A and B are shown apart, each in its own frame.
Chain A
Amino acid sequence: MDRATFERELGEILGLAYGYAVRLNSGDHEAAEDLLQEASISAFRGRDSFTVGTNFKAWFFKILTNAFYRRAGKKEVQTVSIDADPEPYLYLQAREVGIAGADDPAEILFNKIDTAEVKQALDNLPSEFREVSALYFTGEMSYEEISDTLNIPVGTVRSRLHRARKLLQVALWDLAVSRGIVEAVSYA
């Protein structure tokens, strides 16, 4: 792949990649920038290992992920993910306080949570869940692409994502409660 083609391919996904890098680094923008720089050079050097016609994004995100773990000086911790009981946590909490029937949950609750607080909730996830959710929420990837990028089975992607979603919902609900959003809505 020549340099111009490489730059065009990379340029298209750099924005998503930056978002992914920031989340991997728990919100540290400076570290994310360094990481993206390092991964880009290493991808450029190894660009002949990319098979034209395959998924450039997954290829690059894999390089980015590896660079992150190299910098962090540790191998990815492979813990056994227990399939979380699928539980619609937010809905159950909402039902508890009598607001589950709301036509637009965003209007009564989600829109009142700040962007920074949501980012914080993502950044606070344990690393094995943070990585998967970062790819899912910022990388706009399917389960298959995430599995490809992280070299883990699709079933593991699914169970980690489910678990991450549950943890996020708990965090967001706690936030809404502590900020008085829930109380204000349910007694309105």
Chain B
Amino acid sequence: MHEMDCREVIKHMAQYLDRELSTKEQEEVQKHLGECGSCANAFRWENSMLILVKNCAGEELPKGLTARIFDSFDCCE
């Protein structure tokens, strides 16, 4: 069976972390990560960055905005 090398694993990193790989590819990457410290490190850094950005990217909905938006539907019912 074909085994992924470091270059291929890094190529699949983004999709792996986004859960966009096929089950088979997902497993191959996982297997490699269990055996390769430097790829595991690379994945840990990438994932850590993604979590940071996801946690920071959102905004809190301003108070009353939902009600204002819903009220505006009165005009065009």
Which residues of A are at the interface with B, using a C-beta cutoff of 8 A? 3, 6-7, 10-11, 14-16, 18-19, 22-23, 29, 32-33, 36-37, 40-41, 44-45, 86-88, 90-91, 94-95, 100-101, 104-106, 109-111, 113, 115, 118-119, 121-122, 133-134, 137-138, 142-143, 158, 161-162, 165, 168-169, 172
CB-defined contacts of A15 to chain B, threshold 8 Å: 58, 60-61
Which residues of B are at the interface with A, using a C-beta cutoff of 8 A? 10-11, 13-15, 18, 20, 37-38, 41-46, 48-62, 65-66, 68-70, 72-73, 75-77
Q: Label chain A's interface by main secondary structure.
A: helix
CB-defined contacts of A172 to chain B, threshold 8 Å: 49, 52
- Contacting pair A16 B58 (CB below 8 A): yes
Given A15-B61, A18-B59, A41-B72: A118 in contact with B66 (beta carbons within 8 A): no
The listed residue (B43, B48, B52, B73) touching A3 by CB distance below 8 A is B73
- Contacting pair B52 A113 (CB below 8 A): yes
B2, chain A: closest CB distance, angstroms: 19
Given A86-B14, A90-B45, A110-B52: A29 in contact with B59 (beta carbons within 8 A): yes
A100, chain B: closest CB distance, angstroms: 5
The listed residue (A90, A100, A142) touching B49 by CB distance below 8 A is A90
Given A88-B13, A91-B46, A162-B14: A22 in contact with B59 (beta carbons within 8 A): yes
A91, chain B: closest CB distance, angstroms: 4
The listed residue (B13, B15, B45, B75) touching A158 by CB distance below 8 A is B15
- Contacting pair A119 B42 (CB below 8 A): no
- Contacting pair B20 A11 (CB below 8 A): no
Tell me, in angstroms, the Cα distance from A45 to B51 when the chains sit together: 37
CB-defined contacts of A10 to chain B, threshold 8 Å: 69
B72, chain A: closest CB distance, angstroms: 6
Given A86-B11, A137-B53, A161-B14: A18 in contact with B65 (beta carbons within 8 A): yes
- Contacting pair B45 A119 (CB below 8 A): no
Tell me, in angstroms, the Cα distance from A45 to B72 when the chains sit together: 11
